[in-house]
Amino acid sequence: MIVLDDSSLIGCGTLRACYLHPQNGKLIIKVPLPDREGGEEANNHELLSYQKIRQHHEELDHISHCHGFTETDRGAGLICDCIRDCNGDIAKTIWDVVVYQETCDIEELLEVATTLCDYLIANDLFLFDINLKNIVLKRTEDNGYRAYAIDLKGPYDNKEFLQLSSRIKFLARKKLKRRSKQLLERIVQFREQRELLKKMDK
Ligand SMILES: Nc1ncnc2c1ncn2[C@@H]1O[C@H](COP(=O)(O)OP(=O)(O)O)[C@@H](O)[C@H]1O
Ligand SMILES: [Mg+2]
């Protein structure tokens, strides 16, 4: 069984905590947050979603790969690739850059996020949960960024009545385009409202 240490916590989402794998720096382990319900289900949904995506795509850019479950002292952990900058630092989320970083080139971020969204749309990767905390920005050798989706549970998290967009591709594409537009709008909005968001994030 893998023992996780508080010092290797990378970040927390709404349902899961993400730790660096203690034996392999190229991997992370997501475990359910102890005080929330649904973390285990989120891990199951993420793995299912990843496996479904892999059925149709041999190679995947812009996506953090999942490698199945492992037992940890904090519950069943989902192992995924750890996205790192070219200098080895763990990549920051768009949220971290937009809200917490003093300087940030919004035009560049919009371009990088657009490349990710176009890729998802072109490949029918219906990740509807593309918010600022679910995408990390890997620093590349040429001092640019490459965006990666790190939270893939979205397609199984469909709260719509009858879940039509999960069944009909045409509707799914429309929804993904709406979500992409929303992401770009939020990058601009959240930068403007960053002081307020920082206070609310505490
Ligand atoms: N593959 C990864 N590489 C680097 N950091 C990650 C990775 N996956 C998750 N994280 C970090 O963990 C946080 C929570 O992960 P996430 O999968 O979004 O959990 P939740 O389902 O609770 O929203 C992210 O916001 C990010 O900071
Ligand atoms: Mg998330």
Please report, for the chain, the start and end positions of each structural domain, with discontinuous segments joined by +.
6-81, 92-201
User: What whole-number distance in Å separates Cα of residue 7 and Cα of residue 23?
Assistant: 14
Q: Which CATH class is domain 6-81?
A: alpha beta
Ligand 1 atom nearest to 33, measured from its CA: 22
Q: Assign 202 a pLDDT band (cuts: 50, 70, 90).
A: confident
Residue 161 has pLDDT above 70, yes or no: no
- Best residue among 9, 14, 18, 94 to mutate for probing ligand 1's pocket (most ligand atoms within 8 Å of CB) is 18
Pair of tokens at residue 33: 């947050």
User: What whole-number distance in Å separates Cα of residue 147 and Cα of residue 136?
Assistant: 6
User: What whole-number distance in Å separates Cα of residue 42 and Cα of residue 154?
Assistant: 9
Helix spans in the chain (H): 39-56, 94-95, 106-122, 164-167, 169-192, 194-201
Q: Assign 169 a pLDDT band (cuts: 50, 70, 90).
A: confident
Residue 153 CA to ligand 1 centre (angstroms): 11
- CA distances (Å), 148 to each of 28, 134, 161, 169, in order? 14, 9, 29, 23
The residue count of the chain comes to: 202
Ligand 1 atom nearest to 134, measured from its CA: 18
Q: Assign 35 a pLDDT band (cuts: 50, 70, 90).
A: confident
Which letter does DSSP use for residue 147 in this model?
Answer: E
In the chain, the percentage of residues whose pLDDT exceeds 70 is 94
Q: Assign 160 a pLDDT band (cuts: 50, 70, 90).
A: low
Q: Which amino acid is at 161?
A: F
Mean pLDDT of 122-127: 91
Ligand nearest to the CA of residue 83, numbered in listed order: 1
Sheet harboring 145-149: ordered strands across? 92-93, 135-139, 145-149
Specify whether the CB–CB gap between 194 and 201 falls below 8 A. no
What angle in degrees, to the nearest 10, is found between the helix axes of 169-192 and 106-122?
Answer: 170
User: What whole-number distance in Å separates Cα of residue 43 and Cα of residue 48?
Assistant: 9
pLDDT at 59: 86
